[in-house]
Structure 1
Amino acid sequence: MSEQDVVTEAAAKAPTRSRENTRTRLLDAAEQVFAEVGLGETSVEAICERAGFTRGAFYSNFESKDELFVELAGRFASRQVEGVRERVAAMIECGPETGAGEDDMVGLVEALDVPGDVRLGVLLMSEIRNRAMRDAKTAEAYLAQDAQLVREVSQLLEEVTHAKGLRLVLPADDAARFVLNAWEGAASRAIIAGLPEKELQEARAQEVGRIAHLIIEQG
């Protein structure tokens, strides 16, 4: 590649990086404002002010506030999957000789927690789901993300059960759905009850333990 080609390629990539940085800052700002006032009260103006951009910058990256929040929910889900992947890698590295059973599945689901505020993630997903019930475009995006998350967790469940000498007693996709519903349901109830973080984690672990007895058996 000639020097001119290198310069041209670098110049072409610069706007892309700048756009990605702008989108990331807008998403970060939206997450902060949402945590403070909720989805309904989070305005485009408040997001732009927090991010340090104009409305023009917002609408050059997102068609609407709904589109931004669907992407924000997707980013949260991606963090969940990455956390699970790291947990699975650690489980597989330990090997089956370390024991297998309920604790493995509990640990797997606990890995769905992402760095930061667990409550924020649960509240975000809940409000996005509620919005999806009323708006077809949001519903389409939400369902696509939800299906992807189930596929990812399904694959990870198959990997860890195989590595630990376990067997799922129902199809992996169904098991993944049970796991995800158990995690979110326990977290939601704990949040509604106003439990502190430690008790929230304990409640979630207990719920996951009950689910583990239903979906796995020794190989």
Structure 2
Amino acid sequence: MSDEDGPATTRTPRAEVRARLLAAGADAIAEHGVHEARLDDVAARAGFSKGAVYSNFSSKEDLVAQVMQRATNLVLGALEDLVDADIPAADIGDVVRAAFGRHDQSAQFALLSEFRGYALRHPESMPEFVRQRRVLQDGVARLVRLWFGAHPEIDPGMPLDTFTTLLIAANVGTVFDAPALDDVNPGEVVATLVEAVIRRR
């Protein structure tokens, strides 16, 4: 098993160690929850000793916060890769359909649910949860403003902040209810919402 404490000639770069630990932490938390996720399991999943966890994160709470940050970054990165100002109005529904529907969101939602429950049970963690959700909301709002700013001929029919809230809520709500929705695709739901509300002025 590799370990960042091995000989210098085989030392894994610190950035790779952190990335692997964060990915393993996300898997462990989604599978077992914050309380039951053990640091030695996280380390083993990543291919390191438990010491590697403590040399990269100050505590389990720090690891949890960084896993949440990683999850937020992954969602925003996926959206930023697909949404830009040059997308024609006739194509925006299909782009949204791809952006929200291209990945299985079940693991992502398991993480979000666990973070939300953990923050409710541990109020000291709520500010970090709120901060992360606002980062996501601000990122989506930035993309919404970017696209509508480049398409003044399109009327969203509501304030853009409200539109952003609806997009996020439609996606989260659909993923939440997925077991009861007979394989409804969140991307299809969000895209249908977009296509329904945008109108030429």
Which of the five TM-score ranges fits, normalised by the shorter chain?
0.7 to 0.9
Q: Which amino acid aligns with 1:200?
A: V
Deviates more, 1:63-72 or 1:175-184: 63-72
The answer (yes or no) to whether the contact 2:96–2:191 under 8 Å persists in 1 is no
CA shift at 1:34, angstroms? 3.5
The answer (yes or no) to whether the contact 1:109–1:179 under 8 Å persists in 2 is no
Runs of 4+ aligned structure 1 residues displaced above 4 Å come to none
Q: 1:41 and 2:36 equivalent?
A: yes
Distance 1:77 1:148 in 2: 8
The answer (yes or no) to whether the contact 2:156–2:199 under 8 Å persists in 1 is yes
Residue of structure 2 equivalent to 1:75: 70
Distance 2:80 2:95 in 1: 12
Distance 1:109 1:139 in 2: 31
Deviates more, 1:27-36 or 1:150-159: 27-36
Among 8, 12, 21, the residue aligned to 2:16: 21
CA shift at 1:207, angstroms? 5.3
Aligned-pair identity (%): 24
Residue of structure 1 equivalent to 2:48: 53
1:56-112 Cα offsets, whole Å, 9 max, x none, are 3212222333332332222222122122222222xx43445xx36xxx256326414
Residue of structure 2 equivalent to 1:171: 159
Q: CA RMSD in A?
A: 2.7
Query: What TM-score, normalized to structure 1?
Result: 0.72
Distance 2:191 2:34 in 1: 29
CA shift at 1:139, angstroms? 1.3
1:1-219 residue pairs with structure 2 within 5 A? 18-89=13-84, 92-96=85-89, 99=90, 104-105=92-93, 107-108=95-96, 110-112=98-100, 115=103, 117-164=104-151, 165-190=153-178, 192-193=179-180, 195=182, 199-201=183-185, 204-206=187-189, 208-210=191-193, 213-214=196-197, 216-219=198-201
Q: Which amino acid aligns with 1:218?
A: R
Residue of structure 2 equivalent to 1:4: none
- Residues 200, 42 of structure 1: alpha-carbon distance in 2 compared, 3 angstrom cutoff: farther
Aligned pairs, how many?
189
CA shift at 1:209, angstroms? 1.9
User: What 5-or-longer segments of structure 2 have no aligned partner?
Assistant: 1-11
CA shift at 1:22, angstroms? 1.8
Query: What TM-score, normalized to structure 2?
Result: 0.78
The answer (yes or no) to whether the contact 1:34–1:42 under 8 Å persists in 2 is yes
CA shift at 1:136, angstroms? 3.1
Distance 2:129 2:20 in 1: 22
